[in-house]
Amino acid sequence: MAVTSLSPTIPGPYAPLGWRGQALAFLRDPIALMSALRRDYGNLAAILHDYPWWLFAFGPAYNQHVLSDAALFHSTPIAPLTTPPNSALARLTNNLLTMNGETHRQQRRQMLPAFHRKRVESYRDDMVALTEAMLAGWHLGQQLDVARAMQHLTLCIASRTLFGVDATSDTSSVGTLIHDWMAALESGGVLLLPKDLPATPFRRLLRLSDQLEARITTMIAQKRADPTAQHDVLAMLLAARDEDGTALSDEELIGQASVIFIAGHETSSNALTWTLFLLAQHPRILADIQSELAGVLRGGAPTLEQLGRLPLLERVIKESMRLLPPATFMMRYTTRPTQLGPYQLPIGATVTISPYITHHSPDLYPLPERFNPARWEKIAPGTYEYLPFGAGPHMCLGSTFAMLEIKIVLAILLQRYQLALRPGARIDRNVKITMSPRQGMPMVVQLPGTALLRAEVRGNIREMVELRSSG
């Protein structure tokens, strides 16, 4: 007999305002809500016991159960939008993040060659040149928003490597347009009132979707007209063929262009920002990584071979992405009635899992709020214990690209400068598709090896990271 509701015994808070009230609480601060659920109710908690059923499953076992079975747990958009059919918004959101079944498998196969390690490594020179160009505009004592600087840098890198355009060209405004489109997609107003009405956030999202689709369509046409342009990812996708010779249609390319930009821009930008923040709070670790970089690179940009000889850089990035993962949660929905742990779930139940909660489990990572890159000398967590890029069939296709980009930027930047948090700065999390600092990351440019400016850090970042007075 089909299950029509969640088990009445599943633990969780009462939701007097229904799904919109719970959605608002989640949008306001997903980490606060998930942390409270894990603390108060354990590894399984429901916040809605009736349609549209919504529960949270925490820990490696549930991560594996949910993420590995793509047939039972379908990928779902973050916001349950009422998307107008045959609209630009519908086409842009029809990509690897939201596809399921054979369609997802086929298009992922077609896209894989564009993200093969050797292909990704061919973008090293572009990453180096754009990083050095950014740093050429910095000067000692300068105060800057590092979050914005990293956003601009990764946008330039994504524009060049993914779409084959320069940051100064008009065509590259596709990057800015995607950034604005994502901000609109993540807004609370879109979730709470997904109606095409004048002056609404949803109307703005639809307008941005039309503009973005038109821009990507133009770029596709330009690529088709220039068969010699084979270096960037978009050109490779145009040439990609499945086993039976099937090519991606223009409509499919429009959807996939948006997701590859997210993979190559948002994740890297936030990972870089948080890593630089953590290093500024831990001078001893910063000094150690500066010493490693100087010994191997001697002031130069890293070659691919040299990147393999920087173990502390690798550990610092891993630890940063454990402590402050780019994606703090992932959502799936059930395609048929099923059992999760001791509870019965109906068809259409939304299950949210959380890399953040997993990464902060003291059973897996002792003293989990402590930034301790040295822990990676002794641990080797499993796929579902450490998942900054997700896991299973929907694992982020751009993870290799993102890691290469992060390593190159840090290796060049930390040899030339070090960054100190501006005294009095407040750092609060802003959790949407990825996690960024709400007020930006105000920092001061210093010479490597000088004493870092030290000041008490304010904001709810202190709930997530143990910030000691000494490094």
Alpha-carbon distance of 32 to 34, in angstroms, equals 6
Quote the pLDDT of residue 347.
92
Quote the pLDDT of residue 66.
97
Q: Identify the CA nearest to 152 among candidates 176, 182, 180.
A: 176
pLDDT for residue 22 is more than 50 = yes
Alpha-carbon distance of 332 to 335, in angstroms, equals 10
Section 411-428 average pLDDT: 96
Residue 13 placed within a domain:
no
Q: Identify the CA nearest to 215 among candidates 165, 264, 273.
A: 165
Q: What percent of the chain has pLDDT over 90?
A: 58
Quote the pLDDT of residue 171.
46
Section 430-442 average pLDDT: 93
Section 216-220 average pLDDT: 86
Mean pLDDT, the chain, integer: 89
pLDDT for residue 1 is more than 50 = no
Section 445-458 average pLDDT: 90
Q: How are beta strands 350-353 and 44-48 bridged, if at all?
A: unpaired
Q: Please give the structure tokens belonging to residue 232.
A: 């960037």
Q: Identify the CA nearest to 266 among candidates 190, 152, 382.
A: 152
Torsion of CA 332, 333, 335, 339, to 10 degrees: 90
pLDDT by residue (tens digit) across 240-262? 888 888 888 888 888 888 777 77
Residue 8 placed within a domain:
no
> pLDDT class for 220, splitting at 50, 70, 90?
confident
> pLDDT class for 184, splitting at 50, 70, 90?
confident
Quote the pLDDT of residue 167.
54
Residue 204's domain comprises 18-463
pLDDT for residue 139 is more than 60 = yes
Question: What Cα–Cα distance (Å) separates residue 387 from each residue in 60, 408, 426, 464?
Answer: 10, 22, 28, 17
Section 148-164 average pLDDT: 89
> pLDDT class for 398, splitting at 50, 70, 90?
confident
Pairwise pLDDT comparison (51 vs 256), residue with the higher score: 256
Question: Would you call 59 helix, strand, or coil by DSSP?
Answer: coil
160: left (phi over 0), alpha (psi -120 to 50) or beta: alpha
> pLDDT class for 78, splitting at 50, 70, 90?
very low
Quote the pLDDT of residue 266.
83
Q: Identify the CA nearest to 392 among candidates 118, 60, 80, 54.
A: 60
Quote the pLDDT of residue 97.
85
Quote the pLDDT of residue 229.
62
Residue 3 placed within a domain:
no
111-125, 307-321, 403-417: range with lowest mean pLDDT: 111-125
Residue 6 placed within a domain:
no
Section 40-45 average pLDDT: 96
Alpha-carbon distance of 89 to 201, in angstroms, equals 13
Torsion of CA 285, 320, 315, 305, to 10 degrees: -110
Residue 470 placed within a domain:
no
Q: What percent of the chain has pLDDT over 70?
A: 92
Sheet with 330-334, strands from edge to edge, namely 44-48, 54-57, 350-353, 330-334, 73-75
Question: What CATH number corresponds to the domain at position 178?
Answer: 1.10.630.10
Contacts of 103 (CB under 8 A, 6+ apart): none
Quote the pLDDT of residue 199.
83
Residue 325 placed within a domain:
yes
Quote the pLDDT of residue 471.
41
> pLDDT class for 153, splitting at 50, 70, 90?
very high
Number of structural domains (the chain) is 1
> pLDDT class for 227, splitting at 50, 70, 90?
low
DSSP characters over 311-361: HHHHHHHHHHHHHS-S---EEEEESS-EEETTEEE-TT-EEEE-HHHHHT-
Pairwise pLDDT comparison (290 vs 163), residue with the higher score: 290
Q: How many CB atoms lie within 10 A of CB 195?
A: 11
Alpha-carbon distance of 353 to 44, in angstroms, equals 10
DSSP characters over 68-136: H-TTTEEE--SS---PPTTSHHHHHT-STTT--HHHHHHHHHHHGGGG-HHHHHTTHHHHHHHHHHHHT
Residue 267 placed within a domain:
yes
Quote the pLDDT of residue 83.
78
Quote the pLDDT of residue 30.
95
pLDDT by residue (tens digit) across 318-345? 999 999 998 999 999 999 999 999 999 9
Residue 281 placed within a domain:
yes
pLDDT for residue 102 is more than 80 = yes
